[in-house]
Amino acid sequence: MTEVQPEAVLTARNISIEYEVDPPVKAVRDVSLTLHRGEILGLAGESGCGKPTLAYGLTRLLKAPALMTEGEIVFHDRAGTDIDVVALAADGLRAFRWDKVSMVFQGAMNSLNPVISVKSQIFDIFDTHRPGMSKAAKKERAEELLTLVGVDPKRLTSFPHELSGGMRQRMMIAMALALDPQVMIMDEPTTALDVVVQRGIIREIMRLREKLGFAVIFITHDLPMLIEISDRIAVMLQGQIVELGTAEEIYRTPQHDYTKRLLSSFPSLRGERGDFVRTGSRPSQEQVR
């Protein structure tokens, strides 16, 4: 019997990105990947391997001196049309971002404007992308978003410095969900949070993904976390994807030496350092929840 392939929502082919400095730095080299509708694709690798640069390239958010020198990015809209992301002009990009693909940036406190209330920052999204939306509808949607991510809607009037780190990150997730995107890219969404808050954020992401059906590209250097939550994992090294497989395959039968070294760098709670790959079983998503 022929296996039915999952429907693709985003396809990237032969992406190369350079930083035009002296000498030029090839940050991403000939990367190809497909994101399937509703899946969590983990992107793992050490700091400096090109993970955020690739994410910024996929969303056309690169700023000088970064430049995509080669590649094709196609978004497969649920309406049945394909969008050539590389060919989009300024107006097309403005409509594409947040509406089709949104991003949760690393460091919520740096992403939120410290002198503007949460409500104003959420309303700003609607003012830009839904200019005909009434004030009452914007308020209703903003309250719905906060409730969705487990934050009291009364916090709409708060400023970022009045919120905890975990609450600020939930606000960023709420803003990324504002226009019901089909893809959400998360760049180290739990960085600088304590482990208890991290676990709460991860559970929230899993719950929202199941409820709303969006696909996720989850960027982190924490490979064991990705093994718990991802459907598939891409391992990056020096700007290239050196291994791509299901979380189960990466956990049980890693093929690349770098993947094996990444796994062995996390000590087992039950054995000697380096036994991570050889002992135990892959944690289920139920355990994460």
**d(C-alpha 146, C-alpha 92), whole Å:** 28
> What integer is the mean pLDDT of 233-251?
95
Instruction: Kindly state whether residue 224 falls inside one of the protein's structural domains.
Output: yes
Residues 93, 122, single domain; the answer is no
Residue 255: what are its φ and ψ, rounded to 5°? -100, -35
Residues 198, 281, single domain; the answer is yes
Residues 248, 229, single domain; the answer is yes
Instruction: Kindly state whether residue 130 falls inside one of the protein's structural domains.
Output: yes
Chain segment 165-192, per-residue pLDDT in tens: 888 889 999 999 999 999 999 998 877 6
For residue 79, what pLDDT is reported?
A: 87
Q: Which of 126, 146, 180 is the last residue of a domain?
A: 180
CATH assignment of the domain containing 55: 3.40.50.300
Instruction: Kindly state whether residue 3 falls inside one of the protein's structural domains.
Output: no
Residues 73, 155, single domain; the answer is no
Give helix then strand counts, H and E, for the chain.
11, 10
For residue 159, what pLDDT is reported?
A: 94
Chain segment 215-239, per-residue pLDDT in tens: 999 998 888 889 999 999 999 999 9
Q: Output the CA–CA distances (angstroms, integers) from residue 74 to 68, 71, 82, 101, 152, in the order listed.
A: 15, 10, 6, 12, 37
Query: How many folded domains does the chain comprise?
Result: 2
Beta strands in 164-270 (DSSP E): 183-187, 215-220, 232-237, 240-246
Range of the domain at 143: 108-180
Chain segment 144-173, per-residue pLDDT in tens: 999 999 999 999 999 999 998 888 889 999
pLDDT, averaged across the chain:
88
Residues 147, 223, single domain; the answer is no
Among 9-23, 122-136, 254-268, name the one with the lowest average pLDDT: 254-268
For residue 201, what pLDDT is reported?
A: 85
Higher pLDDT, 58 or 109: 58
> What integer is the mean pLDDT of 2-28?
88
Residues 83, 222, single domain; the answer is yes
